[in-house]
């Protein structure tokens, strides 16, 4: 499933970069939940609309975040890659 398909489906977009990276620029409507905060915020994340579409700067942190969320039983989670990839997909 492509990023555009996920967005059409109503995916919740989560930016897993640090708060200062998020403040420097992000996808409109994205939530900022830094990678290191995901385990502590798992209940909050479970309450979000599914599917979840995660991104970071390059796709590495969002990939790690996807793995963490899957370990907590969240199945509909997708790695959107890096910020540049997300911006291209939204054009």
Average pLDDT over residues 5-10: 89
Is it the case that residue 49 has pLDDT exceeding 80?
Answer: no
| Cα separation, 29 vs 3, whole angstroms | 14
Report cis status (omega within 30 of 0) of the bond before 47: no
User: In the chain, where are the structural domains located?
Assistant: 3-89
- Active site (annotated) includes residue 66: no
Q: What is the pTM of this model?
A: 0.95
Mean pLDDT, residues 5-28: 94
Catalytic choice (56, 65, 66, 89): 56
Q: Tell me how far apart the alpha carbons of residues 32 and 19 are, in angstroms, rounded to a whole number.
A: 7
Question: Between 3.40.250.10, 3.40.50.2300, 3.40.950.10, 3.40.1440.10, what CATH number should domain 3-89 receive?
Answer: 3.40.250.10
């Amino acid at each position: 499933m492509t990023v555009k398909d996920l967005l059409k489906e109503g995916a919740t977009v989560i930016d897993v970069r640090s708060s200062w990276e998020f403040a420097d620029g992000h996808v409109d409507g994205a939530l900022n939940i830094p990678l290191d905060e995901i385990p502590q915020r798992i209940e909050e994340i479970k309450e979000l609309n599914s599917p979840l579409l995660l991104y970071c700067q390059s796709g590495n942190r969002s990939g790690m975040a996807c793995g963490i969320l899957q370990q907590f039983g969240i199945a509909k989670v997708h790695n959107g890659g890096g910020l540049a990839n997300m911006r291209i997909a939204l054009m």
